[in-house]
Amino acid sequence: MSATFNTTIRQTIPRCLDYATISSLGLLRALRQHEIKIGPESQVSNAAIKWQKDPNIYTAVDLLAEALIIKDFESEDAKRAARYLLNQYKTTSPIINELATHFLQQPLINIAHLLDVSEPQNRYTNIANLKKSVRFYHRNPIAWCDMAINYATLGQMDKSRSAIEVALNLAPNNRFILRSAASCFVHFKEYDRASHLLSHSPLYNVDPWITSAGIAIAESADIPTKSIKKAKVLVEDDNLTQFSRSELSVSIGTKEMKNGAEKLAKTYMHQGIIDPTENALAQAEWMSSQLNADIGNFSNLGNKVPASYEAIARHLFYKEDFKNSLTSAKQWCSYEPLSSMPFVFSTYITSLCFDDEPESLRILTSVLPLHKTDSDFMNNYICSLAQTGDIEAAIKNFMNMDLRNLRDHQILVLTATQGLLCFRTDNAEKGRELYLEAIRGFERIQDPRSATVAAYYLAAEEKRILSPYKDARIKDAKSRFNRFKVFELTKRINKL
Amino acid sequence: MENGPRAADCLKDLKLKEGWRVKSIMHRHPKATGGNFSVGYLVVNNDGRKAYLKALDYSAAFENPDPPRAVQALTTAFNFERDLLTKCGDRRLKRVVTALDSGTVKVPGILGIAANVSYIIFELATGDIRNQVAQWQEFDVAWALRSLHHSAVGLQELHNSHIAHQDLKPSNVLVFPAVGSKLSDIGRASYIGTPSRNDALQIAGDPGYATPEQLYGWQPFTDFSSRFIVDNYHLGSLIFFFFLGCSATHAISLKLSKKHLKEFTHTDFIKDLPYIQQAFREALDELCLSTDIKTGLLSQEIVMIAQQLCEPDPRFRGDPRVLASRHVPRYDLQPYISRFDRLARTAELKIL
């Protein structure tokens, strides 16, 4: 086989991202629109009168901070105080300049701090800073959580698990901590624990972010989903912002799609993209490809929603714009290094669409320690090794793979990959047999696209060794290609 | 009455009891003394001693739609403050501004009950700590630490007298020549055993200086100690003022607002606590940078004190040894008094 990318499965599992990124993306915003304006109950303050009577740095700071606390960003007095403070920047502290600047600015979504995953040094620096932080102030669950994510990104699972346990003990009922912990457990392949954590939280069926994550994780691990009816009530609660309901909408839509209720699935999908998160948009894009439904204004949404790398990569892929799709996929890799999916998707494009195996190898090697236990990731890695001529390493990695608990699709992909390795070790007969077994298997599970890719690679191997079966295999591959429209193979099929 | 002069504005040149004479008006305090108006005067007594007079302005109460209630509220608040000041004076609190005298004077030329002006005379300060800091060409570490020491002593004195100040902020720490800093303005205070309208308020003091739990209306303990713990936060907040120029609440609110794209809501304290703690951590980082430059080797201990006193979770606010102790109240400030004193002495001896 070649690189693989299973397009038949996707769930809105929360991204495993640090606090700075999550907050920058607005995922911690208020659940209800009316909450945004609620300020604390207090005595009538005289900060504005004091400022008007005696404008100085202190009265300006008092007025500005009070306006910030009660979220009165329209106060003309406070705006004047902010401008006054900015004019006095030489005599004030940096935090006061920050206060004045923040008050006057529109909030900006800034995800420029996302790090290049190929540079683990950045992660080590982060961990060192976080360790220093918790040594001084150990009661900060967010620091522990960020530390867990950084450790996981370095493949140090035990340390990551310990840190996330501390975070959970400190703040068992916080949205950020719960979602991060659940996505960490998913990364550790502890789906049961992730699902239990969310479904037993008091926030389940109260906070749509928690409910959405709970449904997605349970669905991905075939765990029975708890109280979907309550989730549907939540998604129809118009007091909640559309943004906060977007992931829950598409999660329910995905479940409906799986149950065969396509019309209902489309309704939830469309509701999910009124004001979507990038994860909801990516899920909707995936759903639209499965349901043959169109997301009308994808270009607008893709530009509007920050960090929608996955959605754009998938959208451009289906539009057969492989070059730009790969660019977005690489950004997706930097954005979500703890998921194997962006790496598998990127190398699927580099291998199938561009026949650029060295590039595939480079992409995969950068995060190899993180995803050594991921079947699809390792399959693509082994194929790239074999295609670049390093058969010995490919076989060694194949032998080291854990083949337990694999889905049918994954077993068939690996069967085909074993076929490739047999061909490359001059055992064409066994290779042919394995490839054919995989093709028949794909047909059995009704995945004709994967069967076509396997048929193509079998034909390519037959052609490479100038086997007597090559013409028949080429004919079969071309016939499947025409029938099932495996557009990513177009260039390669034409070269056969 | 609405168009005529206010009695509280007409005290200039009046003679008061105990030989005090009103010299000049200093300023009008809008909504001071528990939400009421007052006017400040400079007064001098027979032996030339200067003092500050706070005159209560009743006229605002008569402009209220319900004058009897307004007058009652105003007089209750005034009497409460006067009684507390008397109590502080009786207990000879050294680090709290106490009343030198109090009484009522009739302003000539104004008829009826509105002619009576109640007043309290206080020691005259050179200003508050904000005025002091504004004059510095170079940051005076020793002075700042000594002022913090005095404030901690003042707060401990109040707590030992069963009074929670509840509105400790830079403008309420007054500076006296030779004596140093003293706490003032107990108009927002609460006193064990004597109910006042401050007791019912979610935030009794200035909302810009409120503790995180006050912003949510969350109380860790049902007894009076919650109020003392609020005072301890305000004391820690003074460290932020000296080294960053803003309060701990200002710094935390800024960091929260930035992270939450100006949409941070105060809905559930326990659920939001991690965000507040993270914002506090970021504020401490800023404080650390500033204290490193200004205090050198003392920085670590100063930041540690700020961290303990301003801990966003009130259940863990304070010195860990005090919190662990069964025999010392959790709001006890004695460890900080000793630490501020030692730090101030170190700075005074310039052995940074």
Quote the Cα angle for A328-A331-A335, to 5°: 135
Q: Please name the member of A65, A71, A175 whose beta carbon is closest to the beta carbon of B246.
A: A65
Beta carbons within 10 angstroms of residue B289's beta carbon: 17
Contact residues, chain B, for A20 at CB < 8 Å: 259
Contact check, Cβ <8 Å, B254/A98: yes
Question: Exposed, middle or buried by CB within 10 Å (0-12, 13-18, 19+), for B27?
Answer: exposed
Contact check, Cβ <8 Å, B207/A92: no
Mean pLDDT across chain B, nearest whole number?
Answer: 89
Contact residues, chain B, for A62 at CB < 8 Å: 206, 208
Q: pLDDT tier at B260 (50, 70, 90 boundaries)?
A: confident
DSSP conformation letters of A407-471: -HHHHHHHHHHHHHHHHHTT-HHHHHHHHHHHHHHHHHTT-HHHHHHHHHHHHHHHHHTT-TTHH
| C-alpha to C-alpha distance for B204 and B216, rounded to whole angstroms | 13
Q: Hey, what are A354's tokens?
A: 């561009």
Percent of chain A with pLDDT over 70: 93
Identity of residue A379: N
Contact residues, chain B, for A45 at CB < 8 Å: 206-208
Which of A44, A77, A39, A78 lies closest to B30 in space, CA to CA?
A44
Q: Is B176 helix (H, G, I), strand (E, B) or coil?
A: strand
Quote the Cα angle for A147-A343-A142, to 5°: 15
Which 8-state DSSP code applies to residue A88? T
User: At which residue do the structure tokens 């919190």 appear?
Assistant: B323
Residues A457, A481: contact at Cβ < 8 Å?
no
Quote the Cα angle for A28-A32-A33, to 5°: 105
Q: Hey, what are B18's tokens?
A: 């105990």
Q: What pLDDT does B206 receive?
A: 86
Q: Shortest Cα distance from B33 to chain A (angstroms)?
A: 12
Contact residues, chain A, for B215 at CB < 8 Å: 40, 69
pLDDT averaged per 10 residues in sequence order, chain A, 496 residues: 69 92 86 64 69 90 90 90 90 90 81 56 89 92 96 92 97 95 93 95 93 94 85 92 95 93 93 93 92 80 87 92 94 90 94 92 91 91 93 94 86 94 94 95 92 94 91 93 88 85
Q: pLDDT tier at B34 (50, 70, 90 boundaries)?
A: very low
Identity of residue A429: E
| C-alpha to C-alpha distance for B253 and A64, rounded to whole angstroms | 11
Q: In what order do the strands lie in the sheet with B99-106?
A: B21-31, B36-44, B50-56, B116-123, B99-106
Contact check, Cβ <8 Å, A35/B265: yes
**What is the interface size between A and B, counted as CB pairs within 8 Å?**
164
Contact check, Cβ <8 Å, B261/A44: no
Which 8-state DSSP code applies to residue A353? I
Q: Please name the member of B207, B217, B313 whose beta carbon is closest to the beta carbon of A45.
A: B207
| C-alpha to C-alpha distance for A18 and A24, rounded to whole angstroms | 10
Phi and psi at A231, nearest 5°, equal -65, -35
Q: What pLDDT does A114 receive?
A: 56
Q: What pLDDT does A402 receive?
A: 85
Contact residues, chain A, for B214 at CB < 8 Å: 40
| C-alpha to C-alpha distance for A250 and B310, rounded to whole angstroms | 42
Q: Please name the member of A40, A173, A203 whose beta carbon is closest to the beta carbon of B202.
A: A40
Encode pLDDT of B147-200 as tens digits: 999 999 999 999 999 999 999 999 999 999 889 999 998 988 999 888 888 888
| C-alpha to C-alpha distance for A161 and B193, rounded to whole angstroms | 51
The C-alpha R_g of chain B, in whole angstroms, comes to 21
Q: Shortest Cα distance from B203 to chain A (angstroms)?
A: 5
Q: Please name the member of B261, B281, B307 whose beta carbon is closest to the beta carbon of A107.
A: B261
Cα A494 to chain centroid, rounded: 34
Q: Please name the member of B254, B260, B280 whose beta carbon is closest to the beta carbon of A28.
A: B260
Q: In what order do the strands lie in the sheet with B127-128?
A: B127-128, B173-176, B180-183
Q: Shortest Cα distance from B52 to chain A (angstroms)?
A: 20
Beta carbons within 10 angstroms of residue A297's beta carbon: 10
Q: Hey, what are A180's tokens?
A: 């991060």
Q: Is B128 helix (H, G, I), strand (E, B) or coil?
A: strand
Phi and psi at B99, nearest 5°, equal -80, 135
Residue of chain A minimizing CA distance to B285: A133
Q: Is A133 helix (H, G, I), strand (E, B) or coil?
A: helix
Q: Is B2 helix (H, G, I), strand (E, B) or coil?
A: coil
Q: Hey, what are A287's tokens?
A: 């759903």
Q: Shortest Cα distance from A439 to chain B (angstroms)?
A: 51
Q: What pLDDT does A53 receive?
A: 85
Q: Please check the confidence at residue B31 and state whether its pLDDT lies above 50.
A: no
Torsion sign, CA atoms A260, A265, A267, A270: negative
Beta carbons within 10 angstroms of residue B211's beta carbon: 27
Q: Hey, what are A249's tokens?
A: 């909408």
**Stated length of chain B:** 352
Contact check, Cβ <8 Å, A36/B134: no
Is this complex scored with an ipTM above 0.90? no
Lowest mean pLDDT among A346-360, B3-17, B70-84, B276-290: B3-17
Encode pLDDT of A417-475 as tens digits: 999 999 999 999 999 999 999 999 999 998 898 999 999 999 999 999 998 999 999 99
Q: Shortest Cα distance from A188 to chain B (angstroms)?
A: 24
Q: Hey, what are A370's tokens?
A: 């993180």
Contact residues, chain B, for A69 at CB < 8 Å: 207-208, 210, 215, 249, 253
Contact check, Cβ <8 Å, B277/A68: no
Q: Please check the confidence at residue B87 and state whether its pLDDT lies above 60.
A: yes
Query: Buried b / exposed e across A383-410, counting CB within 10 Å, b at 16+?
Result: bbbbbeeebeebbebbeebeeeeeeebb
Percent of chain B with pLDDT over 70: 95
Encode pLDDT of A63-119 as tens digits: 999 888 888 888 899 999 999 999 987 778 899 999 999 999 877 666 655 545 556
Which of A175, A214, A221, A212 lies closest to A197 in space, CA to CA?
A214
Q: pLDDT tier at B146 (50, 70, 90 boundaries)?
A: very high
| C-alpha to C-alpha distance for A483 and A476, rounded to whole angstroms | 11
Q: Shortest Cα distance from B259 to chain A (angstroms)?
A: 6
Q: Shortest Cα distance from A350 to chain B (angstroms)?
A: 37
Kind and range of the H or E element at A203? none
Contact check, Cβ <8 Å, A139/B247: no
Q: pLDDT tier at B63 (50, 70, 90 boundaries)?
A: confident
The contacts of residue A390 (CB under 8 Å, 6+ apart) are none
Q: Is B100 helix (H, G, I), strand (E, B) or coil?
A: strand
Given phi > 0 = left and psi -120 to 50 = alpha, else beta, which region is B125? beta
- What percent helix, strand, coil does chain A show, rounded to 5? 70, 0, 30
Contact residues, chain A, for B252 at CB < 8 Å: none
